[in-house]
Amino acid sequence: MRTLASIIMPALNEAACIVDVISSMPVGEFSAKGIDTEILVVDNGSVDGTGELARNAGARVVCEPRRGYGHAYLLGFKEAKGDIICTLDADGTYPVDMLPELAEKLLNENLDFISTNRFLYMYNGVMSHTNRVGNAVLTMANRALFRLPFRDSQSGMWVFKAELLERMHLKSVGMALSQEIKIEAACRLGAKCTEVPIHYNYRSGESKLRPWRDGIGNFAYLFRKRFHTNGTK
């Protein structure tokens, strides 16, 4: 019986690149490894025709009008039909060609969750100094508070078994979901995890990241999570 991988991409005003990203999906490489694919784009309130372009390019599109990284992924997880979940941004920064390799690694090594590390092979100028420092500090905080085993707590490219979602308590509706899902998998559930280095590329279009606001929000989330207070940001 063949495995189905759901490739989920949240997208907010990514008309400049969404077609290229979808077209570059290595569907043939997946198929050669016995894995079928569905490409699921979560249109997160775009006003530039991103959803229509994605649909015409062959993706299944669902709409989440409540803006937010977490809002988009929570709907994507609910809508996904796959045995394996693959995630990445829709801006061309993550190497889509690595997805079949990561999915195969997940299955062959009986892993539950694979995250990726952007910092070992990052091109010069891809990420601002402010963002690099912020990522490093947040990763140190994750490791100190939760003993998170990953070196890049904010990476948005993951491959994991869909069955994990049934046991995860995911609440974040913003950028903090990226660290929440790793904490849930590796720390609360004790899932079998690993981290794989990737080449992180220059993005197409305008970044939606708000470094100071998102960074402070991520820190606040970590303390709420660690000390068991309720938070959904």
Tens of pLDDT along the chain (233 residues) come to 899 999 999 999 999 999 999 999 999 999 999 999 999 999 999 999 999 999 999 999 999 999 999 999 999 999 999 999 999 999 999 999 999 999 999 999 999 999 999 998 887 888 888 888 998 999 999 999 999 999 999 999 999 999 999 999 999 999 999 999 999 999 999 999 999 999 999 877 676 667 768 888 888 889 888 887 554 55
Token pair listed for 178: 């990226």
Please calculate the CA angle 2-164-111 and round it to the nearest 5 degrees: 65
Beta bridge partners of 37: 5
Ordered by where they begin, the domains of the chain are 3-226 (3.90.550.10)
